[in-house]
Every structure is written in C-alpha cells, then in structure tokens.
Homo-oligomer: A and B are copies of this chain.
C-alpha cells in the first residue's frame, strides 16, 4: 500500500504567502478565515486522510462495489469510515452555515479535495457529487426545496448525484431521451435510463438526491428543451422524514479498470417523482454551475493522485539500489536509484508540475470565491470569466499530467510497479478515469477554444494574457532568467492565440484540430505564471525559510528548463493546419 503524508507545509505556504489577491481579501464572509484556523483544519484533515481513508483505497480495489438483489454494497470499511467522515463534519466544509455548513472558502476546501483524492478517489466520489448537487440546489432551487434537502446533504446523511449521460447521449446532451411528464400537482414523473452515474446507488446514506436532466413532454428537441429535476431515491415527507421508495432502480453497475470502490450505475427511472429545479428548458444552465465546479474538482483529483504517486516514487528511489552512477562512491556495486540522472529527472518532472499545479489551483480558488461573493459586480464578472477560461485548462492539464506522473511512478518502481503489492499501478488505473469523465479532455479543449477565449463579456483570453504580463513587471535580478523564459513563452502563446482566433472565424477545422495543443500551451503557461508568483515570494522572503524557498527555486528551474518548452512544440505542430487530417479517407 502506498504511503501518504499530506503536504500541509506547501498548502500553508500558499495560504499564507500567495493569498495576495486584493479582491479575494475584500470578501467579507472570509475575513475570519485566518492562518491559525486553516492550519488546524489541515492538520485534522491530514489525520483522517492519512489514517482512516488511505487504507480504503486498496480495500476498494480488491473488493469492488457489488450489486446484490438490487442493492449496491460498498467495500468493507467504507460505511464505518463514512460515518466518521460525516461525524467530523467533512462534507459540510464548504457549505453555507445557514444549512449547517462550516462556510470555508474554496481556498481551503480545495486543499481538502486534494488530500482526499490522494487518499482514495473511490471513497471521495461518494461525497464529491453530494457537494456538486448541494451547489446546484443552493444556487438554483427554491427556498422550500433548499430547506427540505440541504441540511441533510450538508450533514452527509443524504448524498447526491448528477444524472446526465444516457446510452446514446454522452458529450452531446441534445440527444437525451429521458422524459418528464408534468402532473396536476406541479410535480413530474420521469422515465428513462441514465448510465455512468457515479454513486448512483450505495449503502452509505439514508437517501440519495438525484439531479436529473430530462425533457418535459412538451419541450422542444435538442439542448433547448432540457430541464433539471430533483429526484430522490426515497420520497421525502413533509416533515422531512423518509417515505416511500421512488421509481428509481439500479439496473447494473460497471466493471471498470479502476476506482473499483466507486459505484458507477445504470439507473432506470420509471415514473419516478421529480421536482423541477430552476426554469423549464433552462436545465443545462443550472447543471453547468454544478459541472463547472465539478470539473475543477476533477482536475484536483489528478493533482492529488499525482502527489501520492510522487511521494512513493521518491521514497522508493531513496531505498532501491541498482546500478552505478557516473560518479559512484559506492563500494558494494550499486547506488540508490535516486542518484541516477534519469530517475532524478523523472522525480523533478513530477514535483515541478505538482507544485505548480497546486499554486495555480490556489489562484483559481481565490478567483472562484471572488466570482461568487465579491460585492462589486464588475470585479465579480472579471473573476468569473477567468474561472470559466481556466476550468477546462485545470480539468485537462491536471488529469493528463496525472497520467504522465502515475505512469512515470510505475516506471520508477520497475517490475514492482506493475505488481499489485506496491499499489502504484492502482494509482495509474484510478486516475485513468479523470481525463474521461465530466467531459473528455478533448471536449474540454473544444470548450476552451470555441466558448471561452472570447465570450459575451468580450475578449477573455486577451485580458488573461494582459494580467499575466502585468504580473511579471517585477524588479528582481534573480527572477530575471525565469521572467525571460516566461516572456518568450507568453509570446508564443500570444501568436498561437491570434492564429486560433483567426481560424475560429475562417477555418473552423484548423481550430478544431488544434484545440488540444492550444489547451496544453495555455496550461503550461498558466502553471509557469503560478511558478513566477511562487518565485517572487521565494526570493523576497528567502531569509525567513531558506531551505523551503531554495527547494522552490530549484524546482522551478526544472519546470522552466524542461517542462515549459513543450509550449513551442504544441504551437508548431498545431499550426500545420488540418486539411491533411480532414481529407483523409479512412477505410
């Protein structure tokens, strides 16, 4: 089983030193969220993740969730751990105090999401979608519904799901077939089949609140006829107690490559009672609130799994002796593999990407909070645009890098990385879902290019580029070589952006064929931007924590020399166009 130590020091560094976003610091409701409080939370979070949740990963992999006589049973130990988890209030961390939540900002809850992803992604998924459903209900439902459902969800006694996908309708939600027939009392009856529903059924909570998109019988075809419904597994009585079973049943659960402790369900809705959330035919808007936040969390999953993969690769490399280095001082014929250049390179690649991503994620968490709660509408909108721009980037980069990192971790472990004993291969398998679910990474790239660069609020990407250029007007000799590298990559990205905008107008296929490369280029630059901000502090504050900052500076050096140059390759291949791709005659 892999070991895990939550990176509390790095998280507290970000919280203490990079919480320098004026807009974020102006948010009234987070004034009291100070260093001491956050430190206390992270220390407790580390404990439950390292001690209680981490062992569930292997257990879940070896004893997958099963469907027995219509009942989904989670792996051994999940129930006990979940009880402890909700008892300690972890489901309520970021929820509104009005419904029993602790009201922590995303800057804090994202750290917790990362730890939980490191410890056990399968276990995490049982509460993750509840938070998604909570957010959706919180932002779009009536007070009546909020009062009825949210307290139990915040408490963790009830969980939630997102029911979108159908057999012929994944990416393309316009194809959806599930029907909702309005009843005389204003409720609806839903009929149809939903697939790939994470935590669609399980034995951890008393009730499950499904958020289901469906088409009202009198709604138009396509995406313009989609509404959102709340469909509880058990009907909730007026007094809040649990009533009769609703018409939702589990058809089957998927047998998967990884996240075997997580129940991925086929749900059959058969005249199931549902309550409309938000306006009729505007269901996708409401669902997207949930999906966008969820996409960032999927990115964080990739980050969390990368972190535990790195930690275990590092400790294995320090122990395993094999081969002599170029400058060996060993007398018994072998050095620890951490002395070998290629292993060091592999470890630094992991570390420099992970720490850069964590800093980027922290920046994005601040932007998210500004976009939700700042008092100035203009500032709010600007932050919201940045969040919307970075959502597909974080989802895709962090999960793709998670694949690179977990694969490299297996490679560091050699033959032992391929066997079940070490648990490294499980990290690879568990993470492999992250580039697929919540919209494949190709869909994210198309979303970025065709919807996010320029939107109704104007030229978002140019505002972003201006912002990062502005951030590097720093007079610091030591920072100079980094800034120069950064600048030349911003230039490449700017060219790429100009090219992309032109193609979006004049030659859409060229743009489509270049989406993935563009996202990667933007992603590597965004991580570099975060590194610049980390470096700025590291040089300024150097004397106060020499070891820590020196580590940061050296790690950044690797990122700028070995990782950031990938930007240029993405640009160069992308601009070769698409005619030879689109005209190819596949036999």
Contacts and interface: CB of A to CB of B under 8 A. Distances in A.
Interface of A: 165, 168, 170-172, 174-175, 195-196, 221-222, 254-258, 314, 318, 321-327, 333-334, 338, 340-345, 347-348, 403, 407, 410-411, 414-415, 417-421, 425, 428-429, 432-433, 435-437, 440-442, 445-446, 508-509, 512-513, 515-516, 550-551, 554-555, 557-558, 561-562, 565-566, 568-569, 572-573, 576, 578, 580-587
Contacts of A322: 170-172, 175
Nearest to A443: B323
Contact of A551 (B168, B345, B585): B585
B420 A509 contact: no
A499 to B, nearest CB: 15
Contacts of A314: 586
Contact of A569 (B326, B417, B568): B568
A561 B582 contact: no
B417 A516 contact: no
A255 B421 contact: yes
Copies of this subunit? 2
A509 B345 CA distance: 11
Contacts of A340: 512
A410 B429 contact: no
Given A322-B172, A347-B586, A333 B554 contact: no
Nearest to A566: B569
Contacts of A403: 407
A334 B420 CA distance: 42
A572 B565 contact: yes
A411 B512 CA distance: 17
Nearest to A196: B415
A172 to B, nearest CB: 5
B436 A334 contact: no
Given A175-B334, A407-B403, A419-B255, A170 B414 contact: yes
Contacts of A445: 342
Nearest to A446: B342
A566 B569 CA distance: 7
A357 B379 CA distance: 54
B569 A554 contact: no
B172 A509 contact: no
A558 B550 CA distance: 44
Contacts of A550: 585
A573 B565 CA distance: 7
B584 A554 contact: yes
A170 B415 contact: yes
Nearest to A441: B411
A318 B403 CA distance: 27
Given A338-B586, A342-B513, A576 B551 contact: no
B437 A415 contact: yes
Contact of A509 (B170, B323, B327, B415): B327
A327 B582 CA distance: 11
B554 A580 contact: yes
Contacts of A411: 435-436, 440-442
Contacts of A417: 436
A546 to B, nearest CB: 12
Contacts of A512: 325-326, 340-342
A333 B515 CA distance: 22
A342 B436 contact: no
Contacts of A435: 411
Nearest to A439: B414
Given A407-B403, A418-B257, A436-B415, A333 B172 contact: yes
Contacts of A324: 172
Given A403-B407, A419-B254, A565-B569, A580 B558 contact: yes
A323 B582 CA distance: 16
A172 B410 contact: no
Contacts of A419: 254-257
A403 B410 CA distance: 13
Given A175-B322, A257-B428, A415-B436, 18 more contacts: A168-B321, A170-B414, A172-B324, A175-B321, A195-B415, A256-B419, A257-B418, A326-B508, A326-B509, A327-B509, A341-B578, A342-B513, A343-B442, A344-B586, A345-B513, A411-B435, A565-B569, A568-B572
